[in-house]
Structure formats: C-alpha cells, structure tokens
Structure 1
C-alpha cells in the first residue's frame, strides 16, 4: 500500500492549511477558486489515494483538523469557521465522489511520485485559476440591508439617542455571541454635517462622516475607515437612519450598504446579510433599552 494512502487525513489537513497560507500571503483571494475549486480538488486528490470508504472519513477528519487549527491558533473567528465549513466539506465530498465513481480505477496512479503530484494538484490548481478568476470578476456590487422597528417615543428623542450612544448593552443575538463584531459605544464629534461618528468595537472601530443631519428625520453617514477584521474582503459603504412618525410613535429604519469580494456570491451574500442583520438587531435593541431607561419605562 502506498504510504500516502495510510495518511490521507493528514494530507487533507496539510493541503488545506497550505491553501490557507497561500490565501493569507496574497497568493490566493477569497473567490470561487479558493472556496469551490480548491476543496473540490482536495477531495479529488484523496479519492485518488484511497478509493475505499475510509477516504471520505479522511476528508471529514482532515477538514475538521484544519478548521480546529484555525480556531486554536486564533487565525479565524468561530463565526467565519462555521460559515466556511459547509462549503468546504461539500466541495471536498463532490471532488471525492467525482474521482471515486466517475473515473475508472484503472487510471489510478501506480508510482509514489505520481501520488505525490496528485497531492500537490489542489495547490497548483488554486495558484493557476485564482489570477484568471480575479481578472474576469466584475467590480463588487453594493448590497443594502435594511431593518425597521417601531418605538413608542417622539422622533426627536429617538434621533438624539441614536446619533451618539454611550452604551450598547442589550441582549446579544446568538450570532454576536458566536463572535460577530458588535459595538459597545458610538461617539459623535459634533451635531453637524462633516462631523465624524466613531463606533467602537472590542477589536476595532468604524469611522463614519455625517453627510446628512436632519433632526428627527434622517441621519446619513459615509464610512471613511474600518479597522475591524475581514476588511480584506468586506467594506462598509454607508449607514443611514430614517425616522418616520406613525400614530404618535417613531418607526426607525437602519440601512447599511457594503461591498464584498467573497465568491461565490450565491453562498456568501445570504450569510453576510444575516450577519449584518444580527448587528442591526443588537443596535436597535440597545436603543430601545436606552430609551426605556431614560424615560423610566424599564
């Protein structure tokens, strides 16, 4: 038996780690070449080394070792790992299935050197296809996420409480408990267009510049700096709060727009929208809590 067959789980983990290092050294990008083709070729490679059922277990075990390595080394957060794990495992199993069931066993490599070349194939394919994909991709589109809540307070009061928030400490949605970034304070430099608003997070901040300031009507901001993790592939564009008077109450709507270079978009965009929605829910829940405290309703 070829010794590579006995350690297919280790080959899986080491190949994925090598791909991750290529990603973070700038040799690969956050595109379909990395999230789709690369893990698919890892599965193909393992299917070549071991055509028995244990090859599938090697993929699963090796994949879990890789993601455990990312978490243990604090190289990625729990939410990022949880989001990427399904697509990696699915594509590895697809690649394994293609090799196992669609290519005749008679074409299996015989020499140890051939097996070694197959082991390197996923990394070679990633390095070759990544620049082609990046050259063909269009500019990232702007995506908007909108959330509204109805609050039993005057619009002017709601506006004053949201423009600068000394604390954001409402009950956290489960996505934030898992590690999604959440602000703990927002500071406004001045009540005027052109002033900066700093939202502070545990591991960074979002700095926005006020572009429209109409008390009780609209607060509009352009994001001018973003120091949180994930800025390599994610960029906030602007944020807007609008205030609508409804039967003595105020309907506040938070809109965030962003660009992302993650691909495939059909997989990542719903997850991005969910993450931003979690942050919206937390901010608006904190606003409701703060309003309740100053009005004596809590």
Structure 2
C-alpha cells in the first residue's frame, strides 16, 4: 500500500482527476455547462486518456477511481449532492474513465501517443465544448410521463376522498427512500375547485445529509370531476439540490371496476436536463415510481382505516 501511495503516476492521477471533476462542477455552478453528454461522457473519457498516457501506469486507473469517489463524497458532506445522486453517477463515470484509459494504452502501444505527465491540455475539449454546447443549446429539457395503476376494493368516491388531501403519509419506504429520495409527508388541499391549490410537503430521505432532498410542490387544479379526475399543474416546487429535474403536471384518474371497486391511475409529468437519456431516464422513472408506490400504499392504509377491510368486492 505504501508503494502505491508513493507512486508518482498514482499521485498525478489523483491530482488530474480532482482538476477535471472540479472544473466540471465549477462550470455547472457558473452556468457554463449543461448536465449533458459533455459532462457525463466526454469529461470522464478524456480523463481516462489523460491518466492512461502517464508512464508507469500500473496504479493510475485506481488513483482516478479513488479520487473520483473522494470528490463525490466531499460534495455530499456539505450537501452539494445527495448520496443517491453519487451512487447513480458512479456506474457511468467509472466505466468511461476505464474506456479512456484503455484507449490511451492502445494508442501508446501503436505509438500514436507518447507517455507524458504533462497532460492538462487534454482538459481543453471540455473547457471549450461545455460552454459552446451550453450557449448553443441552453437548458434543453426532455418531457417524460410516468404512469402507475392500482385497483382498490373501494368505490371511486371513497378513493377520491382519501387521496385529494392527506394529513400524514405512513407506509413502508421503498429502497431508494432508504438513501435520499424525498419522502412525501402530507398534501394539503386549500380549495376543492378549479384554481384551488394543493401543496405537498416532503422530508429528506433516510440517509440524507441534513435537510437535503426535502421541499414542497405546489399544484393548481386545472380540471376537477369528483371521483373521476383530478388534474393539476405544478406551479411551484422547491426540491433542494435537484436543479436538473422539474415537475409539470400531476393527474389522478378514478375508474370504476366491477361492481364497486376503483382503478386509480396516478400520472406524473416531469422535465429533465440530464443526458444521455438512455442512462438517466430509467433511473428517474424508477425514483418517481417508488414515490408513487409509497403514496398508493399509504392510500391503501388510509382506506382500510376509514372504511374497514373490504373483501369479496369486484
């Protein structure tokens, strides 16, 4: 271990990694970069090429991984990022650093790249590409819909009354809420009419740092058909630390099933700035689906408490 820590390339790989990642985060805070391919793909690949071009590169890759983990954890401690965000970032970050590392070794093998310890110039593609992309395509957002359905052995009227306003949400937390996925606490409906406001409150997840992940979502009713549809636009939200995601619409559909049961359909429409979409979208949807599951499980508990256990209903 001592030999590894004293290895010059290992030390330089740590320094380069901190410079690269620090520059990326700095550009985000200064408004010079998007949450995009350049940040999540180009930057780690170029970092991998940089550390792969170092001489005596036996430990350089592990130095980069060590520095990346330390850097991300350092962002978690003051609340600049959440634990869940860090865990979600590592599976795309580490393989791409390794890819760049392998590319550099292949280039060295065929003498297309010389070994060197002076490679900060490789940071230039990001330093140029990130601002150019940001100013040419500022705040590009993808609109995504997440839909969840569940059938309850209660009437649509009973289900509607139980979900429109919730004093306290209590249910078993899905596994993402064991990290720092925001946990719904209550939803307060001010007026049961078109134009009425509904405010939902969240608390930080189980492993959040301080109050990170908490906040509020304010919804305005745009269409109301009691026991049939409740449609709301999100007019304000304050979810600390999640600037890349936004919320547009929340909808509940209440459909009668059989003689006296209700199929509840919960729809959330949100926006996201994160790319590449093939990686981030499934993770975003998973988080919203788990919040849906938490709310709908609580609804089942509330219905049972309000109306008793109902069996044999179709």
Structure 1 length normalisation: TM-score? 0.91
More helix by share: 1
Cross-structure match for 2:161: 160
Contact 2:33 2:133 in 1 (8 A): no
Aligned CA distance change for structure 1 residues 92 and 286 (closer, same or farther; 3 Å): same
Match of 1:20 in 2: 25
Q: 1:213 aligns with which of 196, 210, 224?
A: 224
Equivalent of residue 256 in structure 2, options 245, 258, 281: 245
The counterpart of 1:225, out of the listed 236, 239, 252, is 236
Q: Using the TM superposition, give the Cα deviation of residue 200 of structure 1 relative to its aligned residue in structure 2, in angstroms.
A: 0.6
Tell me the residue number matched to 1:107. 113
- Aligned match of 1:45: 50
- 2:245 maps to 1:234: yes
Task: Say if 1:128 and 1:106 are closer, same or farther in 2 by CA, change over 3 A.
Answer: closer
Gap change, CA 1:293 and 1:46, over 3 Å in 2 = same
How far is the alpha carbon of 1:231 from its aligned partner? 4.6
Q: Which residue of 1 aligns with 2:14?
A: 9
Equivalent position to 1:34, from 39, 60, 67: 39
1-side partners of 2:14 and 2:35: how far apart? 24
Aligned equivalents of 1:22, 1:138: Cα separation in 2 = 14
CA distance in 2 between counterparts of 1:201 and 1:2 reads 47
1:36-66 CA distance string (max 9 Å, x none): 0011111111112245331221222122212
Partners in 1 of 2:9 and 2:60 — Cα distance?
Answer: 12
TM-score under structure 2 length normalisation: 0.86
Report the secondary structure of 1:107's partner residue. Answer: coil
Which residue of the partner structure matches residue 92 of structure 1?
97
Asked whether the 8 Å contact 1:262–1:268 carries over to 2, the reply is: yes
1:215 to partner: Cα distance: 0.8
* 8 Å Cα contact 1:5/1:50 also seen in 2: no
Where has structure 1 moved over 6 Å in runs of 4 or more?
none
Say if 2:229 and 2:252, in contact at 8 Å, map to a contact too: yes
| RMSD value, Cα | 2.2
CA apart distance, 1:240: 0.3
- Residues 142-200 of structure 1: CA deviation (Å, up to 9, x unaligned): 21100011111111111011111101111110011111112101000111000010001
Matches of 1:83 and 1:125 in 2, distance apart? 25
Tell me the alpha carbon deviations over residues 219-256 of structure 1, each in whole angstroms, 9 at most, x when there is no partner: 00000011103552211110100011112211100001
Q: Which residue of 1 aligns with 2:66?
A: 61
| Residues 53 and 105 in structure 2, CA contact (< 8 A), matched pair in contact too | yes
Gap runs ≥5 in structure 2? 1-5, 204-213
The answer as to whether partners of 1:193 and 1:213 remain within 8 angstroms in 2 is yes
Structure 1 residues not aligned, in runs of 5+:
none
1:255 to 2:261 alignment: no
How many pairs were matched up?
Answer: 292
Farther-moved stretch of structure 1 (233-242 vs 124-133):
124-133
